[in-house]
Structures are given as C-alpha cells and as structure tokens.
Amino acid sequence: MITSDYLINYLLSERGETTEISNDEYSQKRLLRSLFNIRMPKEVSEEFLQIQDEYLQKENRRKGITDIANLQPVQNDIYLWQGDITSLKCGAIVNAANSQMLGCFQPCHGCIDNAIHTFAGIQLRRDCNEIMQKQGYNEPTGQAKITPAYNLPCKYVIHTVGPIVQRYLTEKDCELLKSCYLSCLKIAEENGVKSIAFCCISTGVFGFPQREAAKIAVDTVKKYKVATGSKMKVIFNVFKDEDLQIYQELMPKINS
C-alpha cells in the first residue's frame, strides 16, 4: 500500500527512526495507527495532510458510514444505535476525553478517545493542544470543548471529561456526569448542531456503573429538551450488548 508506506515513513522520519514495513495490510494499519497515536502535536507538511486525509476518508468509507437520516427514533428526536461512533454521519459525536484533552497516546488502545483521534487525523490533536495551551490548565470534569471532526463523517467532535469513580459511586460523581451531558448539549446548540451522538461517558475505565450512567444520560437529555424546547436530535450510541439492553429498558420504543 503506497499511501500507507508514505505515511509510515514520514512519521518514522520525524522520530529519526526506520523500520522494515510489512507487506501484510493488517500489520501496516496497526503500525500506522500506532504512529498516529504516539505523535505529539506539531507542524506537518501539506503533502502529508493531503495524503493522510485521502487515506482516512477511504478507510472510513470502507468501515461503512451510518447516516442519522436512515435511523428511526425510539422516542421523539431520541435515537438508540449500537455500533462504532466514528462511523456516524451526524452533527457531532461526543468523545470521552481525559483531562489533558490530547487523545490517547497508547498505541492501538481500544478506547473511544483513541479511535476518534485516529480516524479524524492528526489535525484533531493539534486543535485540542491549541485549546489547552490557551486555557492554561487541564480540562475540568463535566465541561466540554468543540472541534472540527476533520476526516470523520460527522461535522464536529465535542470533548468532555467524565468523572472517575473511586471505589463507590457518590452524589458528586452523578452531578459531574450530568454536567457532562448538559455541557455537550449547550455547546452543540451554541454551534448550530442539529444532531448529537453520545457515547456511554465514564462507563469504561473510569468506572461509572453502566445502569446508573444510562439513567443519568436519558434523564438529563429528556429534561433538557423539555426545559429548552430543543429540537436537536440525540443519539445514544452503545457498543456493548449490555448497554444496549439497559437503554432499551430505559427508553421503550414509541407505540411498542
């Protein structure tokens, strides 16, 4: 794959390294993703960006793109969809970020932060770094920032830092998670976003119990829509079967 060869060699040369590139497509993709993941935010050539963008857009099409226009709501303007959030074509997707807001630096890690930064492109880390440099301190839990989505099929990525649950769930944890959802909804509205997809914030390595998190998510979104009259479409995106079942129980289909 000439395109991935170019990208790999460019990123290796930045690091003053060389390696034999395997002819195996899977191995090449793993190596390239790893190099994306560990790259610090810095300048890059326009040629690299053009080739990277062509490569990532092709990869995103290959994975398959799901358009919100083809989904059916389970309740008024509220959707439930199981799949890879990086393949959703909608106004904005929500990234469960860490407080540094720079994405996941662990090569090929399975977290959503890693996937979003990988398939958006290296521009996303650059933008997040600029935001953090201007801010001058780590992102507080429960707030949100918005960036372009670059090579993802959505228009924006909204980054929020969820609470980390220590040993047992507290009222503060619940309030902070609620704040994540509210902050994302508000910043989406401010930027004219017509549809937003939420991942299951804080339920992975951050340790928030799944059912309690889902209850907060659904309750917060519904109350926000009633209080503000918002017509924004909201997708609850799940990956695990267990989360799908929880949300189905919390949001039975209309007329079901």
pLDDT in tens, 187-207: 999 999 999 999 999 998 899
Return the pLDDT at 254.
60
Per-residue pLDDT of 141-163, as tens digits, reads 999 999 999 999 999 999 999 99
Is residue 52 a contact partner of residue 208, using CB atoms and an 8 Å limit?
Answer: no
Please tell me the distance from the alpha carbon of residue 109 to that of residue 26, in angstroms, as a whole number: 15
More confident call, 2 vs 77: 77
Residue 21 in this model has a pLDDT that exceeds 90: no
Query: In Å, what is the CA distance from 100 to each residue of 59, 93, 97, 137, 247?
Result: 27, 19, 8, 8, 30
Residue 91 in this model has a pLDDT that exceeds 80: yes
Q: In Å, how far from its chain's centre is CA 52?
A: 19
Residue 255 in this model has a pLDDT that exceeds 60: no
Average pLDDT along the chain: 95
pTM: 0.95
Q: Residue 73 half-sphere exposure, CB side, CA atoms within 13 Å? A: 9
More confident call, 126 vs 2: 126
- Spatial neighbors of 36 by CB under 8 A, at least 6 apart, are 11, 117, 118, 122
Angle between helices 112-120 and 46-63 in degrees, nearest 10 = 120
Is residue 188 a contact partner of residue 86, using CB atoms and an 8 Å limit?
Answer: no
